[in-house]
Amino acid sequence: MRHTLFPQLLLLLFFAVQPAVGDEDLTTTYREDAGRIIGAALTDEEGWEKLTYLTTVIGARLSGSEQLEQAIAWATETLQDEGFDNVSNQPVDVTHWVRGQESARVVAPIHRDLAILGLGRSVGTPVEGIEAPAVVVASFDELEALGRAAVEGKIVVYAVPWEGYGKTVRYRGDGASRAAALGAVAVLVRSATGRSIASPHTGALRYSDDAPRIPAAAITVEDAEWMQRLVNMGHELRLALSMDATTLPDAESANVVAEIRGSQYPEEVVVMGGHFDSWDVGQGAHDDGAGCIAAWQALRILQRLGLQPRRTLRLVLWTNEENGLAGGKAYREWVGERIDNHVAAIEMDGGAERPLGFGFGLNGVEPDSGDPTYESALEQLQAVGNLLAGIEAGQIFRGGGGAHIGPLVKSGVPGLGLKTVGEHYFDWHHTEADTLDKIDPQDFKRAVAMLAVMGYVLADMPGRLVSADSYGPLAAASP
Ligand SMILES: [Zn+2]
C-alpha cells in the first residue's frame, strides 16, 4: 500500500532501471514519449468500448458472412470519422464456407448426442446423414496399421493425445484425407486442445487431391476419451452424423487500411494489425478481435497525443485468416515492389491474455545463429522493450511473426508478434467460448500500450531497424 503514496518515487525507480541489453540511446530518446503513451493507453476506455461493440453487437465474423462485412464497414467508417489518413478498403475474394445444421449421435452401444463443430471447408453428408460403425485411433500410425480392411466404410474417430497445437492440429488438417484414402466415410477429430469443458473446437481442414472428400467434424476431449474407453472395453461403437456444410462461390471482402502518415519518410511503413475475421462460433474475442482493436487503438492513442512518427504507421485489419489467408496474400500483392519500404510488420494474433513482450523473426535467419543483422535488430528491439518494463511487457523473444504478416516476413520484412503468457488461449479459440468475458480489460490495455510504443518507435527512430539492403538476398531466397 505504501508505494501508492509515492508515485513519483516509483516513477523515478522505474526510470532509474538501466536496460540490461540493447541500445540505450533508443531507451533514453523515447522514455518520455513512451511514458505518455503508456499513461494514455492504460487510462483509455475507447478501445475497450470498440472491442465490446465488435464482440457483443456484431459477434462472430466468418469469411463470407454478413457480420464480417458489417464489421469492416463499421471499422472503415469509424476510422474515417477519427480522421486517420488514407482510410481505405483493399478488395479481397474470400472462401465462403457455410456450416449449416449439424449433429452427431452415438447409436451403439448406447444412445447419446455428441457436441460437434464441423471443420472449416468440410463437405456435408448426404441429406439422410451417415450411419456407420466407428473405429477409434490415437494416431496416424495406428490408422495406417489398421489398413483398408479395418477402416473401409467406417467413421474414423481420432482420439489423439494433446502434444501442443502445432503437432495435434495435423489431425484436424489432414485427418479427413488420410482416413478417406483408406475408405473411411467420415471422421470425428478430437479438438486440438489440452483442456476442454465439453466445447468442441473448429478450424480449417485441408483435403488432399488424391482422396475422396469426406465430412469431418471436431468432437470434445471428453467424448474422444469416452469413445476410446468404450472401444478398449470391447464395445462396438456405431455413430450417426449429419452435416449441411457447403462451400459457396468466393465472396467479396476487404482488408481495412488506415494510416498516420510519416512526417519525414512517408513512403516508409511500419504495418501493424490483426485479422478481422473469426470462426462462426463465439465472438472472435481473443481470436482476433482483441488484436485488431488493440492495434487500431494504438494508432488512436498516438493520434490523440499528437505523436506523428517520421515514417508512416499503417493499421491493417486483415480479412480471411481462418480459412484461407487471402487477406495477407492480397496485401503482399498490393505492396508489390514497394516491399523494401516496409520497415517492420507487427501482428497480434495470440489472444489478449497478460502480455509479456514481442517475438521477433527475420526470414531465413535462425534466431540463435548469431547472425549480426538479427542480433543488431534484437538489441534495438530490446531497447524499445525496456520502455515497456514498467508494465512488465517488454521482453523480446527470439523467433516470432504471424500468419498474416507471413508473406511480408518471407520477403525480408522484420516481423514481430505480440506474445502473452498463453495460458488459456488454446482452450478458448475456435470455440463458442471465445467471448469478451475471457479478456481482462487491463491486459488488453497493456497490449494497446505495447503496440503503440513499439509501432511508434520503429516508425520514428532515426535509422531503420534492418537496412533495406538485407531485403534483396533474403527476398530472393523465397517466393
Ligand atoms: Zn487468429
Catalytic residue among 321, 322, 347, 353: 321
- What is the helix (H) or strand (E) element at residue 97, kind and residue range? strand 85-98
C-alpha cell at 353: 491474455
Those residues whose C-beta lies under 8 Å from the C-beta of residue 6, and which sit 6 or more positions away, are none
pLDDT at 18: 42
Q: Which of 408, 411, 409 is nearest to 476 (CA)?
A: 411
Tell whether 285 and 217 lie within a shared domain.
no
- Which of 198, 222, 244 delimits the end of a domain? 244
- Which of 244, 264, 296 delimits the end of a domain? 244
Domain that holds residue 216: 100-244
Those residues whose C-beta lies under 8 Å from the C-beta of residue 215, and which sit 6 or more positions away, are 118, 122, 123, 124, 125, 130, 176, 186, 187, 241, 243, 245
Centre of ligand 1 from the C-alpha of residue 59, in Å? 15
Tell whether 199 and 309 lie within a shared domain.
no
Centre of ligand 1 from the C-alpha of residue 403, in Å? 8
Tell whether 228 and 290 lie within a shared domain.
no
Report the helix count and the strand count for the chain, using DSSP H and E.
15, 16
- Which of 226, 244, 262 delimits the end of a domain? 244
Centre of ligand 1 from the C-alpha of residue 349, in Å? 5
Rounded CA separation 381/29 (Å): 14
Centre of ligand 1 from the C-alpha of residue 350, in Å? 7
- Sheet-wide strand order for 112-114: 112-114, 102-108, 238-243, 130-137, 155-158, 186-190, 216-219, 116-118
Centre of ligand 1 from the C-alpha of residue 193, in Å? 15
pLDDT at 23: 66
List beta partners, residue 113: 105
Tell whether 296 and 399 lie within a shared domain.
yes
Rounded CA separation 302/270 (Å): 14
Per-residue pLDDT tens digits of the chain, which is 479 residues long: 344 444 444 444 444 444 444 467 999 999 999 999 999 999 999 999 999 999 999 999 999 999 999 999 999 999 999 999 999 999 999 999 999 999 999 999 999 999 999 999 999 999 999 999 999 999 999 999 999 999 999 999 999 999 999 999 999 999 999 999 999 999 999 999 988 899 999 999 999 999 999 999 999 999 999 999 999 999 999 999 999 999 999 999 999 999 999 999 999 999 999 999 999 999 999 999 999 999 999 999 999 999 999 999 999 999 999 888 999 999 999 999 999 999 999 999 999 999 999 999 999 899 999 999 999 999 999 999 999 999 999 999 999 888 889 999 999 999 999 999 999 999 999 999 999 999 999 999 999 999 999 999 999 999 999 988 776 544 444 43
Centre of ligand 1 from the C-alpha of residue 79, in Å? 22
Residues with CB under 5 A from ligand 1 (ion): 287-288, 349
Centre of ligand 1 from the C-alpha of residue 194, in Å? 18
C-alpha cell at 439: 479478456
Tell whether 256 and 231 lie within a shared domain.
no
Tell whether 197 and 313 lie within a shared domain.
no
Tell whether 109 and 240 lie within a shared domain.
yes
Tell whether 182 and 284 lie within a shared domain.
no
Centre of ligand 1 from the C-alpha of residue 253, in Å? 17
Looking up residue 346, the CATH number of its domain turns out to be 3.40.630.10
Centre of ligand 1 from the C-alpha of residue 288, in Å? 5
Rounded CA separation 353/398 (Å): 20
Q: Domains in the chain: how many in total? A: 2
pLDDT at 11: 46
Centre of ligand 1 from the C-alpha of residue 348, in Å? 9
Looking up residue 146, the CATH number of its domain turns out to be 3.50.30.30
> Would you call 225 a catalytic residue per the annotation?
no
First CA to last CA across the chain, in angstroms?
57
Rounded CA separation 296/16 (Å): 31
Q: Which of 470, 443, 465, 444 is nearest to 454 (CA)?
A: 465
Tell whether 192 and 290 lie within a shared domain.
no
pLDDT at 235: 98
Centre of ligand 1 from the C-alpha of residue 406, in Å? 13
pLDDT at 454: 98
Contact of 338 with 312, CB cutoff 8 Å: no
Provide the sign of the torsion angle of the four alpha carbons 397, 399, 404, 406, taken in this order: positive
Q: Which residues of 408-439 are buried (b: 16+ CB within 10 A; e: fewer)?
A: bbbbbbbbbbbbbeeebbbbbbbbbbbbbebb
Tell whether 231 and 257 lie within a shared domain.
no
Tell whether 280 and 236 lie within a shared domain.
no
Tell whether 287 and 223 lie within a shared domain.
no
- What secondary structure, in 3-state letters, does 387-406 show? HHHHHCCCEEEECCCCCCCH
